[in-house]
Amino acid sequence: MDYNDPHNVQCNALTAFLRTTAVHGMLNAAPCRMLELGCGSGPFGRRLLAEYPQLHVTGVEVLPEPVAALRLIVTRDGLERRYKPLLADIADAEVLESSGYDLVLAPNVLHHIPRLAHTPVPDNLCRWLRPGGFLVVYDPNGANPVQQLSNQVTRVATLYIKALHPYKWPGETMYSPAYYRRVFTRHGFSYVYGFTHDPFLPVRDAGLFLLAVRNVLNNAVALVTRGDWRGAGQTLLFRKD
């Protein structure tokens, strides 16, 4: 999968999900202001800009390289007035305006924050959203025992093998849907809806032998379980009280 492509399967899935929710109406209302957290090259934000002409996005990213790449893409695509890339840490409350946003999208980023509940991040997201605004979490599913185990193993491996760093962020973790529900409902949000997805992962096209083994195990779990254990990913929707 090309993670930079706004039409990759993840961007397609999230866009399709949003169409079924109250967020869709909000995205069509003028003007709608969205934060894309840990935006990287901004694939989700750029996709939503193409879907919703009234939308404006601020992308927050802590690494300078993706921000530089995103700035080039924004200029290339003529999006300067609608997509603002910002080099900043989402743990820093001061980088964004309080109640300045209608929607916060957190795609594949919160699992990069170790001990999330003990950081300023949940309070920051609440602070940046206006009352009634929405938070969408799209993340790996830490309730899936195979994904959790695989994450713990690679997490230790990254401490010793630098070559893994492009694929695994040191300190990267994985949270369950229950963890996110607990954290965000304690920080000014109501839980609206959520689900786990992607129960079956490719085996033949896994790339590495160890990944193929992990995916076989993952698929076996998907065959025999229901509920939060099943699925490699999760999507959760919260509303700020």
Residues that bind ligand SAM (CB under 6 A): 3, 38-40, 43, 60-63, 66, 89-91, 107-109, 112
Residue with tokens 């080039």: 72
Structure tokens at 85: 């890339």
Gap between the Cα atoms of 31 and 52, Å rounded = 10
Residue 208 gets which letter from DSSP? S
Please, which residue, 184 or 220, has the CB nearer to ligand SAM? 184
Please, which residue, 13 or 221, has the CB nearer to ligand SAM? 13
CB atoms within 10 A of CB 29: 11
Structure tokens at 215: 């995916």
Shortest Å, Cβ 77 to ligand SAM: 17
Shortest Å, Cβ 63 to ligand SAM: 4
Answer whether the bond into residue 199 is a cis peptide, omega within 30°.
no
Please, which residue, 38 or 233, has the CB nearer to ligand SAM? 38
Gap between the Cα atoms of 188 and 145, Å rounded = 29
Please, which residue, 82 or 112, has the CB nearer to ligand SAM? 112
Contact residues for 161 (Cβ-Cβ < 8 A; gap 6+): none
Residue with nearest beta carbon to ligand SAM: 38
Structure tokens at 75: 């200029």
Please, which residue, 63 or 223, has the CB nearer to ligand SAM? 63
